[in-house]
Amino acid sequence: MPSKTRITIKDVAREAGCGVATASRVLNNSGPASADVRKRVEKAARSLGFSFSATGRALQSKRSMTIGCLVPSLANPVFAEAVQGAQEVLLGSGYQLLISSSNYDGAIDNEAIATLLSNDVDGLIVTMTAPEKSRELKQARERNIPVSLMFHDPLDGFCSAYVDNFEAAREIARQFAALGHRRTGFLALRFATSDRSRNRYAGFLAECRARGLPDPALIEISEAEAKTPEKLADILREHSGLTAVFASNDFLAIAVQKAARLSGWRVPEDLSVAGFDGIEIGRMLDIPLATIETRPAAMGRQAAETLLCALQGGPFEQRPALPFQFRAGATLAAPRPESPTAAGIAPQPPSVPSLKYALKQG
């Protein structure tokens, strides 16, 4: 039965035949020590397999060297990549990431922040439902704990690493309009709890109005519906007359493509589709997805860098929004004179989009 208890600096000091203060100085290079005692301490530490207890250090130094991170869900690759980005920045810094996810539940959001705070985190990286009205987030600021938001527009005194969803969505509206689309729709998942989704819709709507186009239909669906193309097909059929759909993320957009095929509609001839995020797989599709390319990992990195900077005594400054880029893909085309979704019924047998786009990509 091997040793059950932690090896502490006391053990090292005893083994080396010196006081704990000396051992601490040697191991930390934080003060004078004779070459002799230095050797003994180092040897003792090595042979005992000593390592510092972060807990003891945290208590003494009042810095936990820990950063709390809250995201809605790691099952969403966008957030997962952002956390990975933050993790990479923090890797050599001595800071550890304490993570929580809320599953998009605003109540859990706040509980999670409270828990993170009571874990004495030195900083916070947060994406949540309603940062603007979170008492816990304000508490963090009152305790002078720097908070980096991710994915949110900058807020109050909190810095944020984000893309301008409103502007990006306007770009989609422009692309639709340039092709001649008038009857468009915005497909949203978790509209009520996602400011990203709302901002995208707002930008899309604003640009449509600015061009004198009809307001886009706001189509909210459930997670179950998003995952079941058959249901999604039913929903799309209910919204007759749409010639272009802007999905609030790429996964949804791919589901729309699938649903369209199930209804016998061709993409993009019968229905144009655009997504948001720019996930890698979108480029691998038979018909590559038109989308807004963003860099979630860069968001995580920036959030972590900003925080690190503040933690190390530097300024805690808002940086400009991260860039996005429209990716044309092949899911956008001019609407047909008479849209088959307007016609209502009788799905036509799909035609042959494969060749055209395979060549286009080649």
Partner DNA sequence: TTGTACGCGTTATCAG
Partner DNA sequence: CTGATAACGCGTACAA
Binding to DNA, residues 29-48 (CB under 7 A) = 30-34, 36-38
Hey, which residues between 266 and 285 contact a copy of itself (CB under 8 A)? 280-281, 284-285
List of residues 6+ apart from 221 with CB closer than 8 A: 187, 188, 189, 232, 235
Question: How many other CB atoms are there within 10 angstroms of residue 314's CB atom?
Answer: 10
Stretch that binds a copy of itself, among 93-101, 175-183, 188-196, 201-209 (CB under 8 A): 93-101
Helix 20-28 × helix 35-48 angle, to 10°? 90
User: What is the DSSP code string of 288-322?
Assistant: PPBEEE--HHHHHHHHHHHHHHHHTTS---PPPPB
Q: Within 10 A of 49 (CB to CB), how many other CB atoms are there?
A: 8
Query: Whole-number minimum distance, CB 7 to a copy of itself, in Å?
Result: 9
**CB closer to DNA out of 13 and 330:** 13
The closest alpha carbon to 268, from 174, 171, 180, 336, belongs to 336
Q: Which of 29, 36, 142, 345 binds a copy of itself (CB under 8 A)?
A: 142
Does 159 contact a copy of itself by CB under 8 A?
no
Q: Element (H or E) spanning 272, and its range?
A: strand 272-274
Minimum CB–partner distance for residue 64 and DNA (Å): 11
| Strand pairing report for 272-274 and 244-247 | parallel
* Least CB distance to a copy of itself at residue 22 (A): 21
Least Å distance, CB 68 to DNA, is: 17
Q: What are phi and psi of 34, to 5 degrees?
A: -70, 150
Cβ pair 127, 139 in contact under 8 A? no
Closest alpha carbon to 286 in 351, 352, 354: 354
- Report what 362 binds from a copy of itself, DNA, none; CB cut-off 5-8 Å by kind: a copy of itself
Q: Taking contact as CB under 8 A, which single stretch among the options 40-48, 72-80, 165-173, 201-209 is the one that binds a copy of itself?
A: 72-80
Upstream peptide bond of 268 is cis (omega within 30 degrees of 0): yes
By a kind-dependent CB cut-off of 5 to 8 A, residue 98 interacts, out of DNA, a copy of itself, none, with a copy of itself
Residue pair 151/162 in contact by the 8 Å Cβ criterion: yes
Cβ of residue 328: shortest distance to a copy of itself, in angstroms? 17
| Position 108 contacts a copy of itself (CB under 8 A) | yes
Considering only residues 54 to 113 of the shown chain, the ones binding DNA according to CB under 7 A are: 55-57, 59-62
Report how many residues bind a copy of itself under the rule CB under 8 A. Answer: 73
Contact region for DNA (CB under 7 A) — 25-33, 171-179, 287-295, 336-344?
Answer: 25-33
Does position 55 interact with a copy of itself (CB under 8 A)? The reply is: yes
Of the candidates 343, 351, 134, the one whose C-alpha atom is nearest the C-alpha of residue 124 is 134
Contact between 51 and a copy of itself (CB under 8 A)?
yes
Alpha helices (H) in 151-218, listed in sequence order: 165-179, 195-210
The span from the CA of 73 to the CA of 19, in Å, is: 48
Question: Within 16-45, which residues bind a copy of itself (CB under 8 A)?
Answer: none
Query: Which residue bears the tokens 């969403």?
Result: 76
221-250 residues near a copy of itself, rule: CB under 8 A: 227, 229
Which of a copy of itself, DNA, none is residue 4 near (CB under 5 to 8 Å by kind)?
a copy of itself
Closer residue to a copy of itself, CB minimum distance, 121 or 177? 121
Phi first, then psi, for residue 248 (nearest 5°) are -75, -10
Which span sits near DNA by CB under 7 A: 17-25, 162-170, 198-206, 341-349?
17-25
Binding site for DNA (CB under 7 A): 5-6, 8-10, 17-22, 24-25, 27-28, 30-34, 36-38, 51-53, 55-57, 59-62
